[in-house]
Amino acid sequence: MTSSPAVAPPVSAKPVRRPGDLIFSGTALAAGLLILVALAAVAVFLVGESIPALGVKKADLPVGFSTFLEYAGPLVFGTVWAALLALVIAVPLSLGIALFISHYAPRRVARGLGYVIDLLAAVPSVVYGLWGITVLAPFVQPFYTFLNTYLGWVPFFSGSVSATGRTVLTVAVVLAVMVLPIITALCREVFLQTPRLQEEAAYALGATRWEMIRISVLPFGRAGIVSAVMLGLGRALGETLAVAMVLSPAVVVSFFVLTTQNPTTIAANIALQFPDSYGISVNVLIATGLVLFVITFVVNALARGIVSRTSVGRNN
């Protein structure tokens, strides 16, 4: 669209360029480019520090691994697995909460409720970690024993049950609680922006509240929902301290969610191993950081692809 006033220019005419516009768009572009530069610098740093790790010798890796890829593989699995479990718990809950606040709760109450959920975002990782080991893990342990005893035939629940409850499922719950406010807050804001006319049009057609949400609110918010979930996923993939404190980790590939040998995540592994690492072991850890970078890259590319294929172009 053009921004020129008064005279109606032909569509193809160049819009009038104002100095204010130039300065403003220039600044905005500069901010964008700054992000590019910063990220490029991080990437260069990561790659530079990672290169020595590719040729790492068996002696410098933990016992039982002979190449870097062998070591990184289970870590990749663990990272994705924990984040996936967390999202499976968090996404339905978040959407439910966001809808509850935006379209179900009485308006006077809604604002307060939104604030209460935002409170969860205000809780720092350390606290989640402390809460996870001192409160949540002992609390869920009896459930795990129960699941293991009576539902052990479900593949996920078999294996030898943890005596302390510090398993990947507990971590997934903690992560879910951590990403929940992020996803909820964004979705809520998006849902609230649904054009009023669309909602009323749906009601006018005799739709129930759920039908109205399905035909007007959700389609309108789809791209926003995906963005929110991606932000949540980013947090779940990269969360360090809470995972490091709560999880009983091992560098393994395992689908059992109730045992003491849990696949660990890249970020937590770095945090655990870094302080006492020296020399090339540090490079190995940074290289796993690069791998996490790549995972995020891939996941986001997939998500973007899905959005652009399914969404019916909103504004832009």
Partner 1 sequence: MATAAVGSGLRRSSLPKYSSLGLLAVSWVVMAGLFLIFLLAGMTAAYNLVGVVFFGTVLWAAAVWLISFLVEGSRKAKDRLVTALVTTAFVIALLPLVSLVETVLVRGVARFDVAFFSESMRNIVGAGGGGLHAIVGTLEITLGAAVISVPVGLLAAVYLVEYGRGAVARAITFLVDVMTGIPSIVAGLFAFALLSLVTGNPGYRSGFGGSVALSLLMIPIVVRSSEEMLKLVPNELREAAFALGVPRWLTIVKVVLPTALAGIVTGITLAIARVIGETAPLLLVAGYTTSMNYNLFSGPMVTLPVFSYTQYAQPGVDPVPSIDRAWTSALVLILIVLLLNLAARIIARFFAPKMASR
Partner 2 sequence: MHTPSKGIPLKHLRASLAIGTALTAMIALSSCASNESTPAASGSGSAASSTGTLSGQLNGQGSSAQGNAQTQWIKDFQTANSGVTINYNPVGSGAGRTAFESGGAQYAGSDTYLSDAEVKGTFALCNGQGIDLPDYISPIALAFNVKGVTALKLDATTIAKIFSGKITTWNDPAIKALNSGVSLPSTKIDPVHRSDKSGTTHNLTDYLNKTAPSVWTAAGADAFPFKTGEGAQGTSGVVAAIKGGNGTIGYIDNSQVGSLPVAQIKVGSTYVTPSADGAAAAAEAGTVASGRDASDFAIDVNRTTTDSKQYPITLISNLIVCKQYKDPAIGKVVSAYATYVTSTEGQAAAAKVAGSAPMSAALIAKVQAVAKAIK
The contact mask relative to partner 2 for 18-57 (x = CB under 8 A, - = no) is ----------------------------------------
Binds partner 2 (CB under 8 A): choice among 17, 18, 58, 111: 111
Binders in 237-256 for partner 2, by CB under 8 A? 244-245, 247-252
Please say whether the beta carbons of 132 and 213 come within 8 A. Answer: no
272 binds, among partner 2, partner 1, none (CB under 5 to 8 A by kind): partner 2
Binds partner 2 (CB under 8 A): choice among 95, 213, 272, 292: 272
Query: Which CB sits closer to partner 2, 170 or 233?
Result: 170
207 binds, among partner 2, partner 1, none (CB under 5 to 8 A by kind): partner 1
Query: Which CB sits closer to partner 2, 229 or 247?
Result: 247
Cα separation, 159 vs 153, in Å, equals 10
Query: Nearest distance from residue 227's CB to partner 1, in Å?
Result: 5
Closest CA to 237 of 182, 295, 189: 295
250 — phi, psi (to 5°)? -155, 150
135 binds, among partner 1, partner 2, none (CB under 5 to 8 A by kind): partner 1
165 binds, among partner 2, partner 1, none (CB under 5 to 8 A by kind): partner 2
Query: Which CB sits closer to partner 2, 94 or 264?
Result: 264
121 binds, among partner 1, partner 2, none (CB under 5 to 8 A by kind): partner 1
Query: Nearest distance from residue 256's CB to partner 1, in Å?
Result: 22
For Cα atoms 90, 123, 121, give the angle at the middle one, nearest 5 degrees: 45
In Å, how far are 46, 81, 163, 169 from 294, measured between CA atoms?
A: 11, 16, 35, 25
Burial class (CB in 10 A: 0-12, 13-18, 19+), 231: middle
The alpha carbon of 139 is separated from its chain's Cα centroid by a whole number of angstroms, namely 25
Query: Nearest distance from residue 164's CB to partner 1, in Å?
Result: 16
Part in contact with partner 2 (CB under 8 A); list of ranges 9-17, 201-209, 269-277, 294-302? 269-277
Closest CA to 88 of 172, 167, 165, 168: 172
Spatial CB neighbours of 102, under 8 Å, sequence gap ≥ 6: 110, 188, 191, 192, 217
Binds partner 2 (CB under 8 A): choice among 57, 107, 196, 309: 107
Query: Total number of residues binding partner 2 (CB under 8 A)?
Result: 41
Binds partner 2 (CB under 8 A): choice among 10, 19, 20, 275: 275
Binders in 124-183 for partner 2, by CB under 8 A? 133-134, 137-138, 141, 160, 162-166
273 binds, among partner 2, partner 1, none (CB under 5 to 8 A by kind): partner 2
Query: Which CB sits closer to partner 1, 30 or 69?
Result: 30
